[in-house]
């Protein structure tokens, strides 16, 4: 006997999560509100993600089968964290027959900074995140008329190369974890930039981007729940394999 098909999902219910950094972010949006949770991630994300998803859905009065689309942080970011996010998104989306919404993890930091600014005025911002191994993940974005535009897609930079690029086209504002590590080098070539602390409220920023992507019709097939890698690595770790199994097992009877 074939298992019953997933029940129809309310079109106003979104699930979003991100594990690309040391913070775990989970958010749910329904027609009546938003529920968010930020907590420790990193190595613990593979074990903590599914319980956190269930907890936030419960607070929202929904279950997995109520979800209309699944947004996930696609990177760039920590390799294991990206594999966890993509594996769980893909497993849930396949099981529920729902679309996925990939979210640029650097744009997520830009949205965090925008929310910290506390206003809706137009501005440009450069995002520079620690990529480990003495390198930086960086991109540039513009907020205008209630929408984000990508000025420079995410890339992997040596600090000196990024400093040279900023010297030629100085950003008006900058944010991200790399500023604390490479700040003196970057600020030396770009002293006018306003440095904005993005803070730790990732889930609130994530659900805004997920909602915009859903409104724009950006949903993709579950098979497209793929990470954005800016470094080559193909081997799965034990934690990543467990995350993939967990995503599928979450829907098992």
pLDDT band at 191 (very low <50, low <70, confident <90, very high): low
pLDDT for residue 10: 55
Candidates 222, 210, 248, 247; CA nearest to 12 is 210
9 part of a folded domain: no
Provide the 10 A C-beta neighbour count for residue 136. 25
The mean predicted confidence, pLDDT, of the chain is: 86
89 part of a folded domain: yes
Residue 243 has pLDDT above 70, yes or no: no
Question: How far is it, in rounded angstroms, from Cα 149 to Cα 134?
Answer: 28
Owner of token pair 């996010």:
85
Question: How far is it, in rounded angstroms, from Cα 61 to Cα 36?
Answer: 13
pLDDT for residue 3: 46
pLDDT for residue 39: 86
pLDDT for residue 186: 79
Q: Count the domains in the chain.
A: 2
Burial of 133 (C-beta count, 10 Å sphere; 0-12/13-18/19+): exposed
**Domain residues for 216?**
14-105+201-249
181 part of a folded domain: yes
What are the φ/ψ torsions at residue 146 (nearest 5 degrees)? 75, 15
As a whole number, mean pLDDT of residues 142-171 equals 93
Claim to verify: residue 176 and residue 67 sit in the same structural domain = no
As a whole number, mean pLDDT of residues 41-66 equals 89
pLDDT for residue 148: 95
As a whole number, mean pLDDT of residues 187-206 equals 84
* Choice between 30 and 22, residue whose per-residue pLDDT is larger: 30
Residue 75 has pLDDT above 50, yes or no: yes
Claim to verify: residue 183 and residue 71 sit in the same structural domain = no
Claim to verify: residue 42 and residue 148 sit in the same structural domain = no
As a whole number, mean pLDDT of residues 112-135 equals 92
CATH of the domain at 216: 3.30.420.40
């Amino acid at each position: 006997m074939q298992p019953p098909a997933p029940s129809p999902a309310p079109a106003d219910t979104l699930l979003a999560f991100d594990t690309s950094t040391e913070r775990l972010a989970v958010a749910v949006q329904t027609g009546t509100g938003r529920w968010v949770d930020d907590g420790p991630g990193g190595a613990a994300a593979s074990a903590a993600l599914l319980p956190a998803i269930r907890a936030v859905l419960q607070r929202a009065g929904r279950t997995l089968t109520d979800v209309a689309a699944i947004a996930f942080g696609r990177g760039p970011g920590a390799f294991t964290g990206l594999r966890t996010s993509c594996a769980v998104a893909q497993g849930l989306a396949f099981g529920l027959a729902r679309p996925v919404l990939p979210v640029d993890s650097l744009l997520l930091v830009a949205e965090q900074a925008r929310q910290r600014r506390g206003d809706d005025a137009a501005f440009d911002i450069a995002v520079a995140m620690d990529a480990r191994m003495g390198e930086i993940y960086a991109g540039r974005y513009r907020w205008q008329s209630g929408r984000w535009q990508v000025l420079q897609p995410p890339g992997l930079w040596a600090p000196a190369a990024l400093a040279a690029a900023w010297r030629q086209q100085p950003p008006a504002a900058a944010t991200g974890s790399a500023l604390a590590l490479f700040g003196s080098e970057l600020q030396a070539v770009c002293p006018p930039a306003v440095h904005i602390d993005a803070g730790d409220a990732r889930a609130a920023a994530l659900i805004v981007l997920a909602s915009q992507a859903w409104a724009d019709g950006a949903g993709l097939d579950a098979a497209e729940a793929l990470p954005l890698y800016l470094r080559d690595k193909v081997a799965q770790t034990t934690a990543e394999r467990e995350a993939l199994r967990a995503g599928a097992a979450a829907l098992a009877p």
